[in-house]
Amino acid sequence: MDKIIFVTNNQHKLQEIRHLAKDKFNIISLSDIGFDFSIPETSPTLEGNALQKARFFHEKTGLNCFADDTGLEVEALGGQPGVNSARLASDHDYHKNMMYLLELMQEKQNRKARFRTVIALILDEKEYLFEGIVNGHITTEPRGNNGFGYDPVFIPQGETRTFAQMTLEEKNKYSHRQRAFSKLIDFLQNLYS
């Protein structure tokens, strides 16, 4: 196996994983194969959403594939926004969602949070899950202009800067998504070496 489909149209994620996979695996996106169904994402958990996306694609094509889902889990909010991270205040409006999170956190002393990425892989009719986590905390105001989403309000453990104050390379040393992607690539490499 040298080719595998990533059930995404997000070019940023695609670049990240292609960089890790180097020339070991050819990661193909949905647009590469002209697959333009809207993919359902209605599960109450990250695991459920990642599996739902991978299964939807697999049922339509019969091809091996993987899909991901990510959430910001804040301890003082009982793990919210979690699976609802992209639509906490407003659908896919990064700024509104981030400002609303700060509002919810206004009186909170416990500011611990983590990003969690789950990847679901369907390979030769078997399903596998991989997880990547970065622990950290939520600031009281946004800092930095890089990145996206909640990056300006998240400081990973062992750092003083937010993700938005780091270069992409610096962020990737901690990144939940990179950790999950690395586990997937290691797994595939072990299987096929």
Residues annotated catalytic, as ranges: 69
The reply on whether position 73 binds ligand IMP by CB under 6 A is no
Q: Which residue is nearest to ligand IMP (CB)?
A: 149
Specify the stretch interacting with ligand IMP by CB under 6 A; choose among 20-28, 100-108, 136-144, 148-156.
Answer: 148-156
**The binder of ligand IMP chosen from 82, 132, 136, 149 (CB under 6 A):** 149
Q: How far is the CB of 157 from ligand IMP (least distance, A)?
A: 15
Q: How many CB atoms lie within 10 A of CB 134?
A: 21
**The binder of ligand IMP chosen from 30, 56, 69, 180 (CB under 6 A):** 69
**3-class DSSP state for residue 46?**
helix
Q: Which CB sits closer to ligand IMP, 58 or 179?
A: 179
Site for ligand IMP in 79-98 (CB under 6 A): 85-86, 94, 97
Fill in the DSSP letter of residue 137.
E
The reply on whether position 162 binds ligand IMP by CB under 6 A is no
The reply on whether position 51 binds ligand IMP by CB under 6 A is no
Specify the stretch interacting with ligand IMP by CB under 6 A; choose among 28-36, 63-71, 121-129, 184-192.
Answer: 63-71
What is the C-alpha to C-alpha distance for residues 58 and 47, in angstroms, rounded to an integer? 16
Specify the stretch interacting with ligand IMP by CB under 6 A; choose among 59-67, 69-77, 106-114, 125-133.
Answer: 69-77
- Bridge-based pairing of strands 126-138 and 112-123 is antiparallel
C-alpha dist (Å) from residue 45 to 81, 117, 121: 11, 11, 16
Q: How far is the CB of 110 from ligand IMP (least distance, A)?
A: 20
Q: What is the DSSP string of 75-133?
A: GGGTT-EETTGGGSSSTT-HHHHHHHHHHHTTT-S--EEEEEEEEEEEETTEEEEEEEE
How many H helices and E strands in the chain? 5, 7
What is the C-alpha to C-alpha distance for residues 103 and 116, in angstroms, rounded to an integer? 22
Q: How far is the CB of 1 from ligand IMP (least distance, A)?
A: 25
The residues of the shown chain that bind ligand IMP, judged by CB under 6 A, are 69-72, 85-86, 94, 97, 115, 147-151, 163
